[in-house]
């Protein structure tokens, strides 16, 4: 069994660093220390927790360039997008620093009692298993509300972003969080399974693939532990005849191509009504041709490699299988190591991998729909349920579908995106539970009923 992790820069293919996995004793002592800290931390005031959030935002501001460079080096994200990722983490600190007090305040409910209310109490040590595609944001999205609610956190990050995991732990330390509030562990799957079974772990959250979600939820279920799962997506992007392409074409292309397409909420199926189809395809092609592939550390780069060569291999297979089933390549479909050329495909059927599977890279299958009803019908044919977006000037028509979309999000004239103020999460094979907003900070709490007669 491997007992080390080697990180590799996907653009240069050069090794970055080797890390030893933690042994069982080290993991035990981290868990004990997180638990010991929880017993203290749960009694700190919300005011103090919010002060630390603001301090954390300031430290990220000071270290922004260095942190962003680490993201770009470990997973190939273009530097300006890495900087935005750090800034989004700062905005999340700011959001909870202002709102946590309200979100966690006792909620009075009138009954026959002299007083009755819900008290939002922390649970204990929460384990997070996080992915590499937004290596700071996804971790902070879990950690900031969870810790601010009075829990402590242990992170098992994706191996290819181990440097980011350690940098995040250091950020919490530098911001003044007590030791044990947030700790990263370097561990393999077996160690994680064992950890989930430990009585000191009170709940588990995972952002990752559907299979990883099923496996972690099964283990957690065996031990009756709560899980929050944010899994894959296959978001439809519907373009209706009256879409305002002048205004939204950049947004639409960005919905698929940002982060080299490696986003759970990316637009992964474009469903375009007949009358606008040809114009849309031409304009999409034109924008894709303007993407600038290159060194992720250069500011002019807008498209980086995929985070690992094996991810590009998977995409190549999904595209080739779709082509064998009749898809037509308009542009793209070449691969070189971790680079996968932005690819546009047409003549798509619902049996093809590019339609029914999540394709985690810069691949845009574009389908023709007869009309709006047909477009929404095709869009709904997915096992996944993260989000749907529609571009149209017929707002009333789009609004009529609010009740019929089964996903966790529905965006009209905007790409599906996460926002600290809004709940984030999916349905069906995309998982369950919500992150961000008031919903997110109330996921890992005991909503305790308190009933008092004087």
DSSP state of 436: S
Best CA proximity match to 119, nearest among 135, 108, 127, 134: 108
Is residue 112 annotated as part of the catalytic site, yes or no? no
The rounded distance, in Å, linking the Cα atoms of 316 and 305 is 14
Which of 211, 243, 246, 241 has the alpha carbon at shortest distance from 229? 211
By beta-carbon proximity to ligand O=CCCC(=O)O, the closer residue of 264 and 288 is 264
Q: What is the dihedral of CA 182, 187, 193, 198, to 10 degrees?
A: -50
* Nearest residue (CB) to ligand O=CCCC(=O)O, 351 versus 422: 422
Task: Return the SS3 of 390.
Answer: strand
Token pair for 86: 């750090």
Binding residues (CB under 6 A) for ligand O=CCCC(=O)O: these are 133-134, 137, 263-265, 418
Alpha-carbon torsion angle 309, 312, 317, 318, nearest 10: 150
**At 338, phi and psi to the nearest 5?**
-85, -5
Q: Which of 74, 169, 210, 230 is catalytic?
A: 230
Which of these, 99, 130, 175, 201, lies nearest to 442 by C-alpha position? 99
d(CA 354, CA 362): 11
CB of residue 264 to ligand O=CCCC(=O)O, shortest distance in Å: 3
Shortest Cβ distance from residue 91 to ligand O=CCCC(=O)O (Å)? 12
Owner of token pair 């469903």: 271
Q: Which residue is nearest to ligand O=CCCC(=O)O (CB)?
A: 418
Shortest distance, position 88 Cβ to ligand O=CCCC(=O)O, whole Å: 8
Instruction: Map tokens 């149209």 to a residue.
Output: 392
CA dist 351 and 357 (Å) reads: 10
Closer residue to ligand O=CCCC(=O)O, CB minimum distance, 82 or 333: 82
* Closest CB to ligand O=CCCC(=O)O among residues 122, 296: 296
Nearest to 199 by CA among 223, 229, 227: 223
Q: How far is the CB of 213 from ligand O=CCCC(=O)O (least distance, A)?
A: 13
Least distance (Å) from ligand O=CCCC(=O)O to the CB of residue 329?
26
Q: How far is the CB of 133 from ligand O=CCCC(=O)O (least distance, A)?
A: 5
Is the CB of 183 or the CB of 263 nearer to ligand O=CCCC(=O)O?
Answer: 263
Name the DSSP class of 301: -
Cα–chain center distance at 3: 27
Q: Given the complex with ligand O=CCCC(=O)O, which of 305 and 425 has the nearer CB atom?
A: 425
Just list the catalytic residues.
230
């Amino acid at each position: 069994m491997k007992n080390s992790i080697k990180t590799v820069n996907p653009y240069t293919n050069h090794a970055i660093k080797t890390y030893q996995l933690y042994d069982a004793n080290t993991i035990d002592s981290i868990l004990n220390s997180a638990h010991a800290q929880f017993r203290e931390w749960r009694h700190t005031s919300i005011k103090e927790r919010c002060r630390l959030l603001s301090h954390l935002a300031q430290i990220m501001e000071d270290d922004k360039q260095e942190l962003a460079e680490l993201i770009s080096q470990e997973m190939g994200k273009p530097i300006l997008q890495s900087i935005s990722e750090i800034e989004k983490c700062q905005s999340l600190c700011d959001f909870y620093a202002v709102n946590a007090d309200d979100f966690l305040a006792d909620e009075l409910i009138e009954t026959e009692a002299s007083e009755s209310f819900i008290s939002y109490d922390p649970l204990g040590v929460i384990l997070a298993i996080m992915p590499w595609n937004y290596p700071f944001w996804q971790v902070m999205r879990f950690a900031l509300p969870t810790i601010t609610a009075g829990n402590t956190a242990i992170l098992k990050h994706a191996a290819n972003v181990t440097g980011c995991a350690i940098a995040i732990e250091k950020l919490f330390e530098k911001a003044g969080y007590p030791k044990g509030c947030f700790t990263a562990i370097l561990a393999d799957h077996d160690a994680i399974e064992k950890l989930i079974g430990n009585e000191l772990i009170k709940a588990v959250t995972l952002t990752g693939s559907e299979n990883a979600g099923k496996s972690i939820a099964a283990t957690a279920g065996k031990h009756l532990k709560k899980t929050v799962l944010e899994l894959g997506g296959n978001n439809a992007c519907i373009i209706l005849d009256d879409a305002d392409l002048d205004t939204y074409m950049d947004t639409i292309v960005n919905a698929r191509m940002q982060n080299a397409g490696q986003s759970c909420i990316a637009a992964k199926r474009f469903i375009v009504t007949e009358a606008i189809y040809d114009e849309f395809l031409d304009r999409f092609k034109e924008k894709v041709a303007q993407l600038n592939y290159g060194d992720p550390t250069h500011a002019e780069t807008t498209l980086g490699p995929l985070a690992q060569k094996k991810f590009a291999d998977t995409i190549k297979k999904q595209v080739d299988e779709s082509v064998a089933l009749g898809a037509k390549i308009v542009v793209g479909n070449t691969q070189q190591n971790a680079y996968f050329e932005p690819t546009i495909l047409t003549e798509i059927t619902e049996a093809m991998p590019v339609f029914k599977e999540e394709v985690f890279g810069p691949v845009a299958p574009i389908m023709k729909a007869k009309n709006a009803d047909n477009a929404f019908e095709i869009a709904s044919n997915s096992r996944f349920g993260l989000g749907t977006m529609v571009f149209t000037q017929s707002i009333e028509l789009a609004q009529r579908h609010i009740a019929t979309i089964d996903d966790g999000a529905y965006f009209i004239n905007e790409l599906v995106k996460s926002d600290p103020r809004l709940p984030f999460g999916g349905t069906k094979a995309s998982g369950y539970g919500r992150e961000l907003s008031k919903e997110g900070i109330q996921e890992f709490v005991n909503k305790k009923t308190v009933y008092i007669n004087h």
